[in-house]
C-alpha cells in the first residue's frame, strides 16, 4: 500500500440474489397529474444459482474502510507522525473483546456483510469518544452498496400519472425527495461535459416505457443503484413464450470514460472506460465512499481492469449483460 502497489484481486461467485420491489402509493396531487409513493425492495439469496457457495459462511479479505478513514484523518492532523499515532490509536478504538480484525488494513467478511452491511466497532468508538455530533454520521454500518429490506432513499418519490401525456406515465418528477441530483455536475459546473446536465432526473425506473417503441429508439431511465439516469436503446425483439418483447439495453456510452465521451465528465468518469463512478454520491448507502460499479466480470470494460483481477469466468454478452425485456404497447 505504501508503495502504491496495485493489488491482485481474485473473483469468487457469483452470489446470486433475487430482488423484489414494491411501491406504496401515498397521495395523488390535487390536479391528478402526480403520484407520491414510497419504494421498498428486498433481496433473497438463491443457493440454486450460487452452486457450492454460502453468503454467510464464506469469508474474504476486503479493504477495511474504517481503518483507511482513520488513517486519512490521522495524516491530516499529525502529518509525518501519523504512522506512530495510528499504530498506538487503532487498537484502542476497537472493542477489546474483538480480534485485531478491525485494526488491520484489511478485514475478513462474508459476502452478505460486504453487500448488506456490518457494524464497525471502530467507527462506533470514534464517534463515542470524539465528541462529534452523532447526528452528523447517520450510521456506523459499512456496506458496499445495497441494504437488505429498506426503503430506497431518504424521502418520498413522485412520478407523473400520465394524465396530460400518456408517454410520461411513471416518469420521475422527484426521486427520494430530490428533484435534482446535486452531487453530479451541470453545464455551469463543468466546462468539459459537452453541455450535459447530469443533475437532472430523467425517465422512469424501467418498469414503464413510452408507447410505440421500435428497434433503434432511445429512452432515458433512472437507475436507483447507480443513483443517476442512463440512456437505453431498443436493440430488437425476443420471444418470451408466446409474447414478443422489446430487448432494451443500456447504451455503451454510459460506461465510457470522460475522455472518450465528454458528457461523462459530469459523472466524474475520469479513469479507464468500463465503470460507473459513485464516489461523489453523499447520500446513503454510498456516503461518499470510493465505490465503482461494472458489469459482471468487467464485461465491456477496458482491459486495464481484468489485468488486475484473476477472473475464473470469461464474460459473455448473453450471460452477463444488463437488459430489460419490455412488453410493447
Of the candidates 185, 276, 264, 272, the one whose C-alpha atom is nearest the C-alpha of residue 225 is 276
CB 147 within 8 A of CB 91: no
Question: Looking only at Cα atoms, what is the longest distance across the chain?
Answer: 70
4-27 exposure pattern, b = at least 16 Cβ within 10 A, e = fewer? eeeeeeeeeebbebeeeeebeeee
Q: Which residues have CB under 8 Å from 152's CB, separation 6+?
A: 39, 40, 41, 176, 224
Q: What is the DSSP letter of 52?
A: T
Q: Is the dihedral of CA 189, 194, 198, 202 positive or negative?
A: positive
The answer, as to whether pTM is greater than 0.85, is no
Predicted local distance difference test score (pLDDT) of residue 81: 55
From the number of C-beta atoms within 10 Å of its C-beta (0-12, 13-18, 19+), residue 37 rates as middle
| Cα-Cα-Cα-Cα dihedral sign, residues 228, 72, 74, 62 | positive
State residue 80's pLDDT score: 64
Digitized pLDDT (tens) for each residue of the chain, 329 residues in all: 455 666 666 777 788 888 888 888 889 999 999 999 988 888 889 999 888 899 999 998 877 766 666 665 556 555 665 555 555 555 555 554 445 566 677 788 898 888 777 777 766 666 565 555 554 444 455 555 454 444 444 578 999 999 999 999 999 999 988 999 999 999 899 889 999 999 999 999 998 898 889 999 999 999 988 999 999 999 999 999 999 999 999 999 999 999 999 999 999 999 999 999 998 988 776 767 778 899 988 999 999 988 877 777 788 988 889 999 999 87
pLDDT at position 96 is 45
Separation CA 206–CA 324 (nearest Å): 7
Amino acid at each position: 500500500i505504501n508503495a502504491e502497489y496495485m493489488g491482485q484481486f481474485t473473483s469468487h461467485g457469483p452470489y446470486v440474489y433475487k430482488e423484489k420491489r414494491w411501491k406504496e402509493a401515498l397521495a395523488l396531487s390535487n390536479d391528478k397529474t402526480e403520484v407520491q409513493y414510497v419504494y421498498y425492495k428486498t433481496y433473497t439469496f438463491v443457493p440454486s444459482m450460487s452452486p457450492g457457495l454460502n453468503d454467510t459462511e464464506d469469508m474474504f479479505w476486503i479493504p477495511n474502510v474504517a481503518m483507511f478513514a482513520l488513517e486519512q484523518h490521522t495524516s491530516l492532523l499529525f502529518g509525518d507522525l501519523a504512522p506512530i499515532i495510528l499504530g498506538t490509536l487503532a487498537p484502542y478504538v476497537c472493542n477489546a473483546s474483538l480480534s485485531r480484525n478491525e485494526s488491520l488494513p484489511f478485514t475478513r467478511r462474508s459476502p452478505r456483510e460486504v453487500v448488506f452491511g456490518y457494524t464497525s466497532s471502530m467507527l462506533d468508538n470514534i464517534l463515542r469518544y470524539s465528541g462529534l455530533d452523532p447526528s452528523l454520521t447517520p450510521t456506523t454500518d459499512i456496506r458496499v452498496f445495497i441494504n437488505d429490506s429498506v426503503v430506497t432513499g431518504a424521502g418520498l418519490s413522485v412520478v407523473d400519472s400520465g394524465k396530460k401525456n400518456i408517454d410520461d406515465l411513471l416518469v420521475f418528477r422527484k426521486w427520494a425527495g430530490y428533484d435534482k441530483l446535486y452531487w453530479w455536475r451541470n453545464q455551469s459546473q463543468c466546462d468539459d461535459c459537452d453541455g450535459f446536465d447530469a443533475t437532472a432526473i430523467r425517465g422512469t425506473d424501467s418498469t414503464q416505457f413510452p408507447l410505440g417503441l421500435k428497434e433503434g429508439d432511445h429512452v432515458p431511465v433512472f437507475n436507483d443503484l447507480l443513483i443517476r439516469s442512463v440512456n437505453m436503446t431498443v436493440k430488437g425483439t425476443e420471444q418470451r413464450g408466446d409474447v414478443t418483447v422489446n430487448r432494451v439495453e443500456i447504451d455503451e456510452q454510459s460506461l465510457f470514460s470522460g475522455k472518450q465521451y465528454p458528457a461523462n465528465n459530469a459523472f466524474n468518469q475520469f479513469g479507464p472506460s468500463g465503470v460507473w463512478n459513485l464516489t461523489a454520491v453523499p447520500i446513503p448507502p454510498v456516503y461518499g465512499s470510493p465505490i465503482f460499479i461494472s458489469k459482471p466480470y468487467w464485461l465491456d470494460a477496458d482491459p486495464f481492469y481484468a489485468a488486475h483481477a484473476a477472473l475464473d469466468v470469461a464474460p459473455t454478452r448473453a450471460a452477463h449483460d444488463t437488459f430489460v425485456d419490455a412488453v410493447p404497447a
